[in-house]
């Protein structure tokens, strides 16, 4: 048995409490009486994922509210609805008294449970949609274009259900909040044209609502005067236990509650639901909130709205270049198109085409935070026309850069160069957005964004991004998205000293590079690989993999000896930081085992040194150090002495360290970076 | 059903205790086995074996935490199955990585090798590891146990504890080093 395996088995015997604490058992509600539940649990386990929940709720409410007095809408303060009085813990209401229910549910909780239970028929309705192939009606195979190789099968909804997009929309908005209804209706489309193909299937053109998902696989399609539901797309939305619901918080416009949810065998007892007061009635917002999904979904919705706005702006800008047709003025390489005043609005009338820098700034500041607006405006400038000795016209810019937009003599021009090359593409995949941190004034989030630069060079199309929405001027505004080639500059809120520090940190990049290059796995291909058995007793059959980095390294500059390594470190780092790193390297002697492995005796007692120098050769461990992304252009000086600068900077990596600190010291005739090498 | 009630069924030799145990912790136990065996069918088989071992162990054993108690049995059975199949040599799953990382906690020329062989020492070493873990911060302890007890991947742990993968890696690295120092200090390594 290997030593590590023995240790593993010893760890297996550790205190059971420690084991339990590491992976806490999901808190059970006070009681679960699954077998006594009215609704079909097993059936519901096969429900489709997210909009399934919405559909469930929607038609549940429909059934409930159509067939019975409306407890939510009619008078939210009556006893049939959710009472607005404070909870009375431990008191059981006889109307809702149930032997299954533990006495520690408040009367209010019980009322809520009763309301939610009444909504259960919704699940059956949903089953009719997704489980039941209609007894009458022809299933249709729809392709979304002539070339679309993946069509979906849809079947007509029975007469019990909405028969058109408008009917469904009306129904949904009647009983649900705008948000929930809006999410649901994203998946309901109208097909414009239907063409039957030779094989009996249909090619359709789906109404373009401007939302990508509507152009692919909508859940419902209104086609040929009939509403069809998609036959595929099952998922597991889990089983909600509404008889575990408890009211958590209440406001004048919202009742929040939690309940138990079982999904894939895992129990989530903190699933959140909300009922909101909107449009004169209490309306169900949404049932299922996995952890922070409610927030995330709201964020995603907001982002879509905001990015749609940004997209419209760009669309308008781009169209302006096209509409005018010919360049109006030239300035060297750049051609500028005059933005015609008669194209002031896009068809949807959302935006007014800016005709001046001020108008553009106003437009941007309406939707974007100051930082983002300033960044965009750095590409917008004013200028004037001048003529040279030969009578040729030139443009004199107020700034030295060629702006994308140029205001000259009260008219706005757009650069044709920008049209071709610098069209900003925010490229955000809104559906991936997840909140990483929230404060009173900001919502920071993570998302997948397009990375065209990387994509063009053969890499992935998407990359992990950070974004933020900030509260400014009384409104939440999009701060910025960044992707390749679209990294906003930081605002001038930094002092000269901060900027100086940032410049220093920039100059230290070679040092940073040294550290990163050490860890670069791309170096592996450049050197011969060795298997070192560091124990010397042959009990480790595989050994550690090292590469010989003593030879020429074209892509990666490795030190050729420990002395050289130390010099490289001391060039950029303080003695303390260099010593820290040097403590993880050592010298050794090697004997060839003849089977591709080598026994190595080290001159230090290290588990696995990053570098080993053997007989004048340097060997680097394959799984070397790793680094943390740091954003030095967020650095701010905290205090400064004659030989020390203490600063903070922000590591914006999702789940990262947030604000960190560092030190620069004056040593050996220069300012040296002090850092923890492995962090 | 409450853990104590399940244990009572075991004590009364009522087989319904097994079904209750399965109903309550079956998913949890299967997930542990799957982490090690990387095969759902094998994991189910492993958990069934573990049920039998639990049945034979209780009584006289009185689990402190039933969930963890049976979890330990599952892991032991799973490791045995893994060893039988030689699967760890293929390097599949997290277990190979876990072994590799745990190597760092053991000094190359230590006497721990010999002490491991002595059953009498095992209990002391486990106590020592317990003491060490209790001295760690809650975050580091949890990350360590999720990695080396539950055999979860770095990304799974990161997701579970709500931290960046890098932070988890750093935590594990440091805790491994500290464990090594601790074992050395306790005389289980030079």
**Which pLDDT value is given to residue A557?**
64
Q: Is the pLDDT of residue B89 over 70?
A: no
Distance CA A266, CA A274 (A): 22
Alpha helix segments (H runs only) across A49-147: 50-67, 107-118, 121-130
Is this complex's ipTM strictly greater than 0.85? no
List, run by run, the mean pLDDT of 10-residue segments along chain A (679 residues). Answer: 74 84 55 23 28 36 33 27 27 29 54 49 32 56 77 76 82 67 72 84 72 58 85 47 73 75 66 71 50 49 54 47 53 64 43 74 74 73 82 72 78 65 48 66 68 59 69 66 38 55 51 46 57 65 75 64 86 80 87 85 79 89 52 68 75 55 76 60
Q: Please give the residue of chain A at the shortest CA–CA distance from B166.
A: A628
Verify whether the Cβ–Cβ distance B167 to A5 is below 8 Å.
no
Of residues B122, B25, B1, B14, the one with CA closest to residue B59? B14
- Closest to A13 (Cβ–Cβ): which among B109, B126, B148? B126
Residue A466's contacts (CB-CB under 8 Å, 6 or more residues apart) are: A436, A444, A445, A446, A447, A482, A652, A653, A654
Residues of chain B contacting A534 with CB distance shorter than 8 Å? 108
Q: What gap in Å lies between CA B140 and CA B152, rounded to an integer?
A: 14
* pLDDT at residue A135 in the model: 44
Give the per-residue pLDDT at A145: 76
**Average pLDDT of chain B, as a whole number:** 76
How far, in Å, CA of A207 to CA of A190, rounded? 5
Question: Are B164 and B158 within 8 A, CB to CB?
Answer: yes
User: What number is the average pLDDT over the span B70-89?
Assistant: 72
Q: How many angstroms from the chain centroid is the CA of residue A332?
A: 42
A374 touches chain B (CB under 8 A): no
Closest partner residue to A536 (CB to CB) among B28, B72, B108 is: B108
Q: Does A15 contact chain B (CB < 8 Å)?
A: yes
Q: What is the pLDDT of residue A675?
A: 65
Question: Nearest Cβ partner of B102 from A4, A13, A25?
Answer: A4
pTM: 0.29
More confident residue, B30 or A252: B30
Q: Could you give the count of Cα atoms lying within 13 Å of A134 in the half-sphere of its Cβ?
A: 20
Q: Does B18 touch chain A (CB under 8 A)?
A: no
What is the structure's pLDDT at A478?
Answer: 65
How far A264 CA sits from the closest chain B CA (Å)?
9
B77: closest chain A residue by CA = A9
Closest partner residue to B113 among A3, A13, A654, by Cβ?
A3
Distance CA A206, CA A181 (A): 20
Residue B79 contacts A, CB cutoff 8 Å = yes
Contacts of A23 in chain B (CB under 8 A): 145-146, 150, 160
Better-scored residue on pLDDT, B17 or A445: B17
Higher-confidence residue of A212 and B146: namely B146
Strand order in the sheet with A631-640: A631-640, A644-651, A658-667, A670-674
Partner residue opposite B104 with nearest CB, options A539, A608, A628: A608
Q: Largest Cα–Cα distance in chain A?
A: 99
Contact: B63, A8; criterion CB under 8 Å: no
* Residue A445: per-residue pLDDT: 67
Q: Strand, helix or coil at A343?
A: helix
Predicted pLDDT of residue A587: 92
In chain B, which ranges are continuous DSSP H helix?
3-11, 16-37, 40-57, 66-85, 93-102, 112-117, 119-135, 138-148, 154-161, 165-185
pLDDT at A68: 30
* pLDDT given for residue A377 in this prediction: 77
Q: Does B131 touch chain A (CB under 8 A)?
A: no
Please report where in the chains the tokens 């020492």 appear, as a residue: B121
């Amino acid at each position: 048995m290997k030593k590590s395996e023995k240790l593993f088995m010893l760890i297996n015997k550790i205190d059971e409490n420690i084991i339990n604490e590491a992976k806490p058992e999901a808190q059970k509600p006070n009681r679960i009486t699954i077998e006594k539940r009215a609704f079909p649990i097993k059936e519901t386990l096969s429900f489709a994922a997210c909009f399934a929940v919405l559909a469930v709720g929607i038609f549940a409410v429909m059934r409930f509210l159509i067939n019975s007095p409306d407890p939510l809408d009619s008078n939210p303060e009556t006893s049939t609805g959710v009472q607005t009085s404070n909870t009375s813990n431990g008191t059981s209401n006889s109307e809702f008294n149930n032997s299954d229910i533990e006495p520690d549910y408040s009367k209010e909780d019980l009322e809520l449970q009763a309301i939610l239970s009444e909504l259960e028929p919704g699940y059956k309705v949903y089953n009719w949609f997704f489980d039941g192939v209609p007894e009458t009606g022809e299933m249709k195979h729809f392709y979304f274009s002539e070339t679309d190789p993946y069509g979906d099968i849809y079947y007509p909804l029975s007469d019990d259900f909405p028969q058109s997009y408008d009917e469904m929309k009306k129904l949904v908005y009647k009983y649900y909040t705008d948000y929930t209804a809006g999410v649901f209706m994203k998946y309901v489309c109208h097909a414009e044209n239907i063409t039957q193909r030779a094989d009996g299937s249909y090619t359709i053109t789906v109404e373009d609502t401007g939302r990508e998902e509507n152009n692919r696989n909508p859940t419902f399609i209104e086609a040929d005067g009939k509403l069809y539901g998609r036959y595929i797309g099952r998922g597991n939305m889990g089983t909600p236990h509404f008889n575990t619901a408890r009211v958590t918080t209440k406001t004048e416009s919202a009742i929040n509650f939690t309940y138990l949810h079982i999904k894939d065998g895992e129990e989530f007892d903190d699933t959140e639901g909300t009922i909101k007061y909107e449009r004169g009635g209490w309306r169900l917002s949404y049932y299922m909130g996995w952890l922070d999904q409610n927030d995330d979904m709201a964020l995603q919705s907001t982002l879509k709205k905001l990015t749609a706005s940004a997209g419209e702006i760009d669309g308008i800008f781009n169209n302006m270049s096209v509409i005018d047709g010919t360049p109006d003025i030239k300035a060297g390489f750049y051609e500028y198109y005059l933005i015609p005043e008669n194209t002031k609005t896009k068809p949807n009338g959302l935006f007014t085409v800016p005709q001046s820098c001020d108008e553009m700034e106003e437009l941007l500041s309406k939707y974007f935070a100051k930082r983002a607006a300033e960044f965009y405006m750095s590409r917008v400038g004013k200028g004037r026309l001048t003529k040279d000795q030969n009578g040729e016209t030139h443009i004199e810019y107020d700034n030295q850069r060629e702006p994308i937009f140029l205001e000259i003599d009260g008219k706005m021009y757009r650069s044709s160069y920008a049209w071709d090359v610098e069209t900003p593409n925010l490229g955000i995949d809104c559906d991936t957005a997840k909140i990483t941190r929230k404060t009173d004034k900001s919502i920071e989030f993570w998302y997948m964004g397009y990375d065209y630069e990387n994509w063009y060079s053969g890499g992935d199309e998407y990359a992990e991004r950070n974004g933020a929405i900030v509260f400014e001027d009384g409104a939440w505004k999009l701060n910025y998205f960044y992707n390749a080639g679209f990294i906003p500059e930081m605002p001038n809120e930094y002092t000269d000293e901060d900027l100086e520090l940032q410049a220093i940190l920039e100059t230290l990049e070679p040092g940073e590079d040294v550290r990163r290059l050490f860890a670069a796995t791309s170096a592996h291909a450049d050197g011969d690989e060795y298997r070192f058995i560091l124990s010397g007793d042959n009990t480790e059959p595989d050994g550690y993999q090292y590469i010989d980095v003593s030879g020429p390294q074209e892509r990666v500059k490795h030190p050729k000896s420990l002395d050289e390594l130390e010099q490289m470190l001391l060039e950029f780092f303080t003695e303390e930081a260099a010593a820290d790193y040097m403590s993880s390297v050592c010298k050794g002697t090697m004997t060839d085992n003849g089977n591709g492995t080598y026994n190595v005796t080290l001159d230090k007692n290290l588990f696995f040194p990053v570098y080993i120098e053997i007989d004048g050769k340097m060997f680097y461990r394959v799984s070397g150090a790793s680094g943390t992304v740091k954003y030095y252009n967020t650095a701010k000086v905290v205090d400064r002495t004659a030989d020390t600068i203490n600063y903070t900077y922000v590591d914006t990596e999702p789940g990262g360290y947030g604000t960190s600190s560092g030190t620069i010291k004056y040593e050996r005739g220069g300012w040296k970076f002090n850092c923890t090498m492995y962090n | 059903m409450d853990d104590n009630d399940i244990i009572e069924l075991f004590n009364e030799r009522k087989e319904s205790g097994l079904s209750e145990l399965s109903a309550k912790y079956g998913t949890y136990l299967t997930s542990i086995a799957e982490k090690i065996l990387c095969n759902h069918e094998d994991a189910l088989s492993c958990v069934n074996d573990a049920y039998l071992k639990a049945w034979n162990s209780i009584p006289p054993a009185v689990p402190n935490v039933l969930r963890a108690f049976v979890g330990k049995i599952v892991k032991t059975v799973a490791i045995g199955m893994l060893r039988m199949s030689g699967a760890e040599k293929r390097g599949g799953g997290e277990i190979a990585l876990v072994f590799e990382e745990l190597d760092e906690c053991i000094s190359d020329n230590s006497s721990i090798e010999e002490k491991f062989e002595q059953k009498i020492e095992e209990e002391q070493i486990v106590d020592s590891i317990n003491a060490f873990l209790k001295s760690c911060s809650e975050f580091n302890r949890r990350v360590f146990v999720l990695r080396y007890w539950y055999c979860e991947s770095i990304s799974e742990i990161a997701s579970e504890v709500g931290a960046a993968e890098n932070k988890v890696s750093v935590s594990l690295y440091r805790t491994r080093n500290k464990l090594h120092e601790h074992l050395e200090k306790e005389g289980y390594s030079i």
